[in-house]
Amino acid sequence: MQYRVAVEELTALTDSIILLRTGKPVDYRFEPGQYAELAIDRPGFADETRPFSFTSRPDDRQLEFIFRSHHSHGGVTAELARLAPQSGLLLEEASGTIGYRGPGCFIAGGTGITPFLSIFRSHGAEPGFAGNRLLFSNKTEKDRFVTDELLALFGDRVRFVVTHDPTSQCDSAFIDLEYLRPFVESDRHYYVCGPDDMVKEIVTALLALGVAEQYLVLEQ
Q: What's the 3-state SS for 20-53?
A: EEECCCCCCCCCCCCEEEEEECCCCCCCCCEEEE
**208 vs 201: CA distance, rounded Å:** 11
Domain housing 60: 3-91
- The enclosing domain of 130 has a CATH number of 3.40.50.80
pLDDT tens profile 58-88? 999 999 999 999 766 668 999 999 999 999 9
Q: What distance separates the 2 farthest-apart alpha carbons in the chain?
A: 52
pLDDT tens profile 3-39? 999 999 999 999 999 999 999 999 999 999 999 999 9
If you average pLDDT over residues 48-64, what whole number do you get? 97
Of 67, 91, 115, the residue at which a domain comes to its end is 91
pLDDT band of residue 220 (cuts 50, 70, 90) is confident
One domain for residues 119 and 207: yes
pLDDT at 214 over 70: yes
One domain for residues 151 and 175: yes
One domain for residues 85 and 128: no
**Assigned domain for 98 exists:** no
**Assigned domain for 83 exists:** yes
Rg of the Cα atoms in the chain: 18
User: Looking at this protein, which amino acid is placed at residue 61?
Assistant: R
Secondary element (H or E) of residue 10? strand 3-12
**Assigned domain for 96 exists:** no
**Assigned domain for 78 exists:** yes
pLDDT tens profile 144-180? 999 999 999 999 999 999 999 888 889 999 999 999 9
Helix or strand or coil: residue 60? coil
pLDDT at 104 over 80: yes
One domain for residues 117 and 203: yes
CA distances from 102 to 14, 57, 96 (A): 31, 17, 17
